[in-house]
Structure 1
Amino acid sequence: MIDKREILGLASTQGLTAHVVEKDYALGWALAGIYAHPELSETWVFKGGTCLKKCFFETYRFSEDLDFTLQDESHLDEAFLQRVFSEVSEWVYEQSGLEFSSDSQKFDIFANPRGNPSCQGKLSYRGPVSPRSPPRIKLDLTADERLVLAPVEVPIFHPYSDAPEGGIMVRSYAYEEAFGEKVRALAERTRPRDLYDVINLFRNTEARPAASVLLDVLRQKCEFKGIELPKLTDLDPHRGDVEGAWGHMLDHQLPSLPPVEAFWEALPEFFDWLLGGTLAPAPAAYRLSRGETVIRERTLRIPVGSNAQTYLEIIRFAAANRLCVSLDYVKETGQRTAPLIEPYSLRRTSDDNVILHAWDVNKNGHRSYRVDRIRGAQTTNATFVPRYEVELTPSGPVSIPPTERRSSNFGSRRAGSPYGTRPARAPRTKSRNTSGFGSGPTYVYQCGMCGKKFNRKTMNGRLNKHKAPGGLPCGGRTGFLVDTKY
């Protein structure tokens, strides 16, 4: 198990409590244990807010629960769940030293509003900073949810020093399905976290699916629940409740709480887009200087110190939430400054410096900042309306079709592991899927300079060297998402 100091250090740099970070650590190992278990890995499909955080966007809000759609209803049995989670607990302890107490596991099987079995479970754990009373992870399990798109196999974000070699792979909702279910949840219960999630996903233009695809997913999800497609007017009566609970429900999950007004007032634009309306033209990216390339990797890989990496994560979070950042910055002359900025883009220059492009609020002008000279970064509650394209969010969700699962994804299993004596599973083979979703969507990017189009299986607009349609070399290195094929 990792040292207490690692949790405290991450909590300090990310502006969160140690217990929130510790729970994120425990969630990662719980997922590792579930998807290493041969009876669960093929039929449990990860979903919900924690799925969005762990699978698709590292800068997303921290979440606390594990939600799954089960493709085998027989798993909704208390004795079965007690047995498999005792085995999961033992496996996790052997692999990491993190203790999930089998004695305190609880599983409540009940009939949901459709008369079908569901389960709410609780897993207690004792981590590096846990108090005497062990904290709990809530499980929400259902077997009668409609899966519109084929699940995808993705790595989770687990930024801790004891992460298994090869990472942790899970079987999750496709991004479009996770987005659609969040919109339905906003219509059903109109909670602060649903509003935050929907607008946050909508703002990430690089990862935004085609409106027609999301609408089709949403329509099928609503039909299954027997509810109408949501409309903006349906949400208006709930605004007061959302505003009243905004801080209580979200403050502990975010480094800095953005104002609720900035999210509620974005709903008209979201519904216009969803229902086929015309969006206002998006702001253009700040112009590329000669030799510059945009850095939009899902995980930052830049040759700077660990503190700079942390500051960049704070800046990325602020950019995604349209919050200004207070920098602690050292100029080339050695002068220490504290500019208030709107962050927009991270780029590598021809001489291999990493530059943050931003708008200085107080000086009312564009400025660039070398990342290796940033000594600190703090989000503020001041919001901004983008004047350039925000290029600091990750390049988008990883969409990986189901493939053969390799045991190395979870590290080497130790002798005596509760899973070690079970028969090995046959390799997973791809089945023919007439719906066209089995292999995942194809994203079409178009070079902004020469117009050439490129097909991608992941949402990544960074382009390699290529030739323009006329055969001459093109200097364009950034593509724009123009289509999604299913």
Structure 2
Amino acid sequence: HLDRVLERISSESGIDFAMREHTLRVRPNGSLEGRIYYRGPRNAPNPASVRLDLTRDEQVARPPVVRPIQHLYSDQLPEPATVRCYSLEEVYAEKIRAMGERGRPRDLYDIVFLLDYPGLVDQSELISETLITKCESKGVPVPTLERLQESPHRAELESEWVNMLGHQLPALPPLDHYWGRLPELFRWLDGELEVEPLAPVAGGAGEMVWSPSPAAWSWGSGPALEPVRFAGANRLCIDLGYRGTVCRIEPYSLRVTSDGNLLLYAIRRDNRQLRSYRVDRMQSIEITTEPFTPVRLVEFRQVGPLAAPPTTRRSVGGRGTSSAQPYRVECAVCGKTFARSRPGTRLKAHKDPDGFPCPGRVGYPV
């Protein structure tokens, strides 16, 4: 079955799965793990790989949910382009269970990160029940704050915090900040902590919160705001370069004004004043490792990346103008790049950088 699937994918996408035989291993319980090797449009000399881990004995405690497959490229996936997933409540419960068993840096990061997810604020009872079900199915004790604090994995967690997470994140929050929020997490799970909703930033008349879908970002589409989104979602301060000065801020929201400007609302760390900053006037954005405790609703998505849309302004008696940057596509064969006004990866006949005809007709966004 796997060979037929790979043949179909290869015929429709051009991805080469034949350069190296895939490896599969069946576990005693019937589960399967392995790797599929492939070479994509960049024709790299060494194959890339996708890891497979198919489990047969996992107890699913909550009904699966169907979610759209999102990606960052202009190519459209065939309909319906959906996949069955764990519910977010079960993902959270599974992460807490894993933290109790192995205590890896990624587990700690995830369970604290999800603690701030707006859609889970009122789901503590359901997550707690799901956690108990998952632990019973695995035959392991339900994690508690005391067990985590006494865990022998704490020393390994401290030593591996930077090694395991430093290369995965734009800025790595300090371990003490995440470890220090565990009491809050377990009070919330036990129903002892009532989370009071924060009020959003009070913006100007006619402003709207700007928050595109995770798949709306495209290469070269505008000023990169991913550091702002990441910092806000992770409750980290930013050193913002703006009009010749640098100030440290707490990012809270991106708003579109009635005349088409994109504003970042933030609180300055030095004087605690709420300020708005025009995105097109920002000179630099640097994420710090200094955490902040929100005093307003943080209105950034938990997932990225994020880039600003082309700025469109309306003038009295005139038509709007756009400052959109062109898309850039690199030929998968010769490496030559082409500017585009619209997204797309198909290429016309062209010459390579040495002046010879190139057979490449497909590129990838850069």
TM-score (ref. length: structure 1): 0.57
1:135 is aligned, of 48, 54, 58, to 48
Q: Which residue of 2 aligns with 1:172?
A: 85
**Does the CA-based 8 Å contact 2:71-2:215 persist in structure 1?**
no
| Residue deviations 1:184-241 (CA, integer Å, cap 9, x gap) | 1111211111111111111112444511111111111111111221101111222221
Kindly report which structure 2 residues correspond to 1:352-391, keeping only aligned pairs within 5 A, or say none. 352-362=260-270, 364-391=272-299
Kindly report which structure 2 residues correspond to 1:274-285, keeping only aligned pairs within 5 A, or say none. 274-279=189-194, 281=196, 283-285=198-200
- In terms of fraction of residues, the more helix-rich structure is 1
Shift of residue 182, structure 1, vs aligned partner: 1.2
Q: Which residue of 1 aligns with 2:159?
A: 244
Shift of residue 378, structure 1, vs aligned partner: 3.0
Structure 1, unmatched stretches of 5+, are 1-83, 330-334, 396-486
1:191 is aligned, of 96, 104, 119, to 104
**Does the CA-based 8 Å contact 1:176-1:209 persist in structure 2?**
no
1:232 is aligned, of 145, 148, 152, to 145
Deviates most, 259-268 or 161-170: 161-170
- The one-letter code sitting in structure 2 at the alignment partner of 1:245 is E
User: 2 CA distance for matches of 1:180 and 1:154?
Assistant: 19
2:26 is aligned, of 103, 109, 122, to 109
- The one-letter code sitting in structure 1 at the alignment partner of 2:280 is D
Pair 1:342-2:245 in alignment: no
2:17 is aligned, of 87, 100, 103, to 100
- The one-letter code sitting in structure 2 at the alignment partner of 1:365 is Q
| Residue deviations 1:163-199 (CA, integer Å, cap 9, x gap) | 4255732111111112211111111211111111111
User: 1 CA distance for matches of 2:112 and 2:158?
Assistant: 15
Q: Which residue of 1 aligns with 2:57?
A: 144
Shift of residue 270, structure 1, vs aligned partner: 0.6
Q: Which residue of 1 aligns with 2:177?
A: 262
Q: Which residue of 1 aligns with 2:226?
A: 313
Shift of residue 132, structure 1, vs aligned partner: 3.3
User: 2 CA distance for matches of 1:100 and 1:321?
Assistant: 38
**Does the CA-based 8 Å contact 1:122-1:138 persist in structure 2?**
yes
| Residue deviations 1:352-407 (CA, integer Å, cap 9, x gap) | 32211012234542211122333543322222222222111259xxxxxxxxxxxx
3-state SS of paired residue (2:10): helix
The structure with the larger Rg is 2
3-state SS of paired residue (1:217): helix
Structure 2, unmatched stretches of 5+, are 304-366
User: 1 CA distance for matches of 2:80 and 2:252?
Assistant: 30
User: 2 CA distance for matches of 1:255 and 1:87?
Assistant: 39
3-state SS of paired residue (1:87): helix
User: 1 CA distance for matches of 2:147 and 2:163?
Assistant: 23
Pair 1:120-2:33 in alignment: yes
- The one-letter code sitting in structure 1 at the alignment partner of 2:3 is S
3-state SS of paired residue (2:31): strand
- The one-letter code sitting in structure 2 at the alignment partner of 1:147 is V
Q: Which runs of 4+ in 1 moved over 6 A?
A: none
**Does the CA-based 8 Å contact 1:107-1:121 persist in structure 2?**
yes
User: 2 CA distance for matches of 1:337 and 1:307?
Assistant: 22
Q: Which residue of 2 aligns with 1:351?
A: 259
- Asked which structure has the greater RCO (Cα within 8 Å, sep 6+), the reply is 1
Shift of residue 284, structure 1, vs aligned partner: 3.1
**Does the CA-based 8 Å contact 1:323-1:379 persist in structure 2?**
yes
- The one-letter code sitting in structure 2 at the alignment partner of 1:384 is F
Q: Which residue of 2 aligns with 1:181?
A: 94
| Residue deviations 1:244-281 (CA, integer Å, cap 9, x gap) | 11122122222222211111111110110011112464
Cα distance change, pair 188–97 in 1 and its aligned pair in 2 (3 A)? same
Cα distance change, pair 161–298 in 1 and its aligned pair in 2 (3 A)? closer
Query: Over the residues paired in the alignment, what is the CA RMSD in angstroms?
Result: 2.7
**Does the CA-based 8 Å contact 1:201-1:208 persist in structure 2?**
no
User: 2 CA distance for matches of 1:172 and 1:117?
Assistant: 21
User: 1 CA distance for matches of 2:227 and 2:257?
Assistant: 22
User: 1 CA distance for matches of 2:15 and 2:241?
Assistant: 37
| Residue deviations 1:42-92 (CA, integer Å, cap 9, x gap) | xxxxxxxxxxxxxxxxxxxxxxxxxxxxxxxxxxxxxxxxxx332332233
- The one-letter code sitting in structure 2 at the alignment partner of 1:286 is V
3-state SS of paired residue (1:252): coil
The percentage of counterpart residues that share the same residue type is 40
Cα distance change, pair 209–87 in 1 and its aligned pair in 2 (3 A)? farther
Cα distance change, pair 274–129 in 1 and its aligned pair in 2 (3 A)? farther
| Residue deviations 1:436-464 (CA, integer Å, cap 9, x gap) | xxxxxxxxxxxxxxxxxxxxxxxxxxxxx
User: 1 CA distance for matches of 2:14 and 2:166?
Assistant: 30
Pair 1:88-2:1 in alignment: no
Shift of residue 301, structure 1, vs aligned partner: 6.5
User: 1 CA distance for matches of 2:37 and 2:122?
Assistant: 37
Q: Which residue of 1 aligns with 2:326?
A: none
**Does the CA-based 8 Å contact 2:19-2:38 persist in structure 1?**
no
**Does the CA-based 8 Å contact 1:92-1:99 persist in structure 2?**
no
Shift of residue 282, structure 1, vs aligned partner: 5.0
1:200 is aligned, of 95, 104, 113, to 113
The number of equivalent residue pairs is 300
**Does the CA-based 8 Å contact 1:360-1:366 persist in structure 2?**
yes
3-state SS of paired residue (1:339): strand
